[in-house]
Structure 1
Amino acid sequence: MRIAFLINNAYGLGGTIRTTCTLAGQLAAEHDVQVVSVFRDRDEPDFAYDPRVRLHPLADLRAHSADNVRDDPRRRVPSAVFPPGDRRHGEYSALTDELIGRWLADPGADVLVGTRPGLNVHLARQAPRGVVRVAQEHLTLDTHSTRLVLALRRAYPGLDAVTTTTEGDAAVYRRRLPGLRVTAVPNGVPAPAAPPSDRTAPVVVAAGRLAEAKRYDDLIRAFAVVRAARPDWSLRLYGGGPQRAALAALVAELGLDEHVTLAGPVTPLEPELARASLLAATSTMESFGMTLVEAMRAGLPVVATDCPLGPREIVQDGVNGLLVPPRDVAAIAAALLSLIEDDERRAAMGRAALESSTAYDPARIAARHVRLFQALLDDRARPGFRARAALRAGVCRTLGAFLSVSDTAGAALRKAARRRQATSG
């Protein structure tokens, strides 16, 4: 099978890039795989791609490259394909329309996989009809703007399937974009090279972008309660982001400077996980929960907020971790203390976490993708495929148009309510 991934920038850092690198490398063991990067801005990628994966950039932005397109006048003309609702729209242009379209005219693949909404629209509008086209959702449908959802309703009926990272998001897709073929396939997480934790170090670890949705302020406040009961324990928080200064101020305000460390970003993270005894995640929204799986692969039980959408599909409450209500500082503190105070329970949950994390082994996840791709290829080979596909697309667009009226009206009402609130304030 010949498989091609279309990604914004395969050379940088990020969750989508990492999971694409992992999946492509696993698939390359048995299939012909290429990763097509719309942009290239550095000589070597930050992630190490399997040498069997062909990495192919379209728009070279390196100043020293003889092929660089930085001064191409077409970059000043906005894209006519990449939807404005995708937050990376400003990076796309008439030049990328041409480069992506030229590659899609003869992609040398049986299966094309897009990795963000704007690129999925390119697949739907520009890819050959004889090629299987799959859209990956690495965030969640409900986190996209109404404007983007409307664009996806128009374009996605031209695709063969959509994959989400959780069953919860798959259900949202089926409700809001009815008629599409939607399959949930979680991200693959390799086993760490380091030995798993022995869960004896008096350390709680957390990792992720220091952003509001992660609610690390709730975790720090909860840890103030933990510190009062168990001053021998500490919290290490890895990651960078816009909330760092505010979180540092909160640590100082609560007198936790000797117990809470804002350690900054670290790569690789796995050795740091192995030096801790449990992981805490306090988000109000997760598209998947990669850090949860990484911690479990290191043998750590997890304390996670039961937020939409990923944690409840990863954590078996009371088995490999504990789920608590989002924004409930007292519940977070109690859950942490329940594992800190009970060495045997913490160890048992850690062992269960290590065992259950094998479900996310890249080989298993790649096999699920291959089964989907093969089913889509087989469907194309059956008589009457074009008629069935046209009927399904028509149904999708009709239902989508009906729902779009509702979504547009709802967005207008919400905007008016916010305007009234601002005026009255």
Structure 2
Amino acid sequence: MKISFLLHNAYGIGGTITTTFNLAQALAGRHQVEIVSAMRHREQPNFTLDPKVSLRPLVDLRHERKHPLHLRPARVFPAAEYRYRQYSELTDQRIGAYLAETEADVVIGTRPGLNVHLAHQAPERVILIGQEHLTLDHHSPRLRIALRRAYGRLDTLTTVTEADAAAYRRKMWLPGVRVEALPNSVPDPVLPAADGTAKVVVAAGRLVPVKRYDLLIEAFALVATEHPDWHLRIYGQGEEHGRLRELIGRLGLNNNVFLMGAAAPMEGEWVKGSIAATAADFEPFGMTIVEAMRCGLPVVSTDCPHGPAEIIKDGVDGRLVPVDDRDALGAALLELVRDDERRRHMGRTAQENARRYAPALVVEQVERLIDAARSARAGEAPAPVPPAASRIKRALVSEGFAARDAAYAMASGALRAVRRGRR
């Protein structure tokens, strides 16, 4: 089977790029896989890609930024989407041409605007899966209207958390479209796990306001006061760098808190720490949380929507604290800094619990979604959920999802015929 991912820019740095590369590489062991990058701005990707996965760009910004068609606004890519200004009539044409000519059996979109392209421009024979890496509540009302009109033409819509999947089922009218949570996968670590002895807290991600590194630094000041031999390393780059550097100086933490810049991959940095931390106001999933746990670190995180609470078991493999609460965050960090045995035990538990995000399990779930879409088109009942996928999907099983499968299959044949008339 040939599977194609449509990605905004495979040559940048970000969570969606990381998880797309991870999933594509895992699928490549059993399928023919390609990543199609709508844009390109440099010669090579920041992340190493398995040679089994082909990569091709559609618009090379190094040479086509001033192309006449790229100076005209996009018509297919929705205007309410966050990245609308980066798209154009040129991207409309190139994406449309790629979809018209693709030999893929399955095309997977990786952001709302690209999912709209799939809905309007992909040929009828292709299985269409739209991925949402943000959340429904994060989208503006205007964008939700555009997505509601387009998403009804998809076979499947995936979210990264059960909470967001439930929101789509509850708030969006998408008859015949399967909506399921598909967690991001993290490759099996190649380095020995952290042993919990290093006096280092590690954080990673874009240096942007929503990640609240200012709150983390202020919370870590409580740790440094009591344990001046502990350090906080923050990996990433972004607009907040200058402000965070000034805050570190103002709090007298120049010998304790370090802005390390970007690192890819992060595995070699996670294993140098003993605790991971995130202070975000909003986290659609929490890729860095899983990465850290797979490397043997307990994670102290704000309990923000939607991801952390679905990944971390509070008091078992990490700690969850209220959003925007510096003292609670500092206290949770101190709790693990003070107790060596508990910290190490929680790290070992985190490593074990995070195995549910191993690529093999997520690949199995993707294959099940594709098989279910094919069955639905044929009006057949889908195959039973495999045991491994069932472990990931325990929340859906508790909802009686088998009954939903049967109803979906019976209704989808007629709905597919209706969609043919809309294209």
Same-fold call, TM cutoff 0.5 = yes
Identify the range of structure 1 (264-273 vs 294-303) with the bigger mean alpha-carbon deviation: 264-273
Aligned residue for 1:56, secondary structure, equals strand
Give the C-alpha shift of residue 200 in structure 1.
0.5
Cα pair distance change 1:56/1:265, threshold 3 Å:
closer
Aligned to 1:113: 108
Aligned to 1:50: 50
Matches of residues 192-341 of structure 1 in structure 2 within 5 Å? 192-341=189-338
Superposition TM-score, scaled by structure 1 size: 0.87
- Give unmatched runs, 5+ long, in structure 1: 64-68, 395-425
Aligned to 1:138: 133
Distance 1:288 1:176 in 2: 20
Give the C-alpha shift of residue 98 in structure 1.
1.9
Q: Which amino acid aligns with 1:253?
A: R
Distance 1:106 1:308 in 2: 39
Give the C-alpha shift of residue 77 in structure 1.
2.1
Give the C-alpha shift of residue 70 in structure 1.
4.3
Distance 1:161 1:364 in 2: 18
Distance 1:343 1:163 in 2: 40
Distance 1:245 1:279 in 2: 23
Using the aligned pairs only, state the percent identity. 53
Q: Deviations over 1:343-367 (max 9, x none)?
A: 1111110000010111111121111
Identify the range of structure 1 (237-246 vs 384-393) with the bigger mean alpha-carbon deviation: 384-393
**Quick one: which of 179, 200, 204 aligns to 1:182?**
179
Aligned residue for 1:348, secondary structure, equals helix
Distance 2:272 2:257 in 1: 15
Cα pair distance change 1:282/1:184, threshold 3 Å:
same
Aligned to 2:92: 97
Give the C-alpha shift of residue 271 in structure 1.
1.5
Q: Deviations over 1:66-100 (max 9, x none)?
A: xxx44532222212111011122222222222222
Give the C-alpha shift of residue 391 in structure 1.
6.6
Q: Which amino acid aligns with 2:35?
A: V
**Quick one: which of 379, 382, 388 aligns to 2:415?**
388
Aligned to 1:11: 11
Identify the range of structure 1 (356-365 vs 374-383) with the bigger mean alpha-carbon deviation: 374-383
Q: Which amino acid aligns with 1:356?
A: N
Q: Tell me how many residue pairs correspond in the alignment.
A: 389
Q: Deviations over 1:205-226 (max 9, x none)?
A: 1111122111122211211211
Distance 2:41 2:327 in 1: 46
Contact kept in structure 2, 1:157 and 1:393, CA below 8 Å: no
Superposition TM-score, scaled by structure 2 size: 0.88
Give the C-alpha shift of residue 393 in structure 1.
11
1:358 aligns with 2:385: no
- Give unmatched runs, 5+ long, in structure 2: 381-409
Q: Calculate the aligned-residue CA RMSD, in Å.
A: 1.9
Please identify the structure whose Cα radius of gyration is greater. Answer: 1
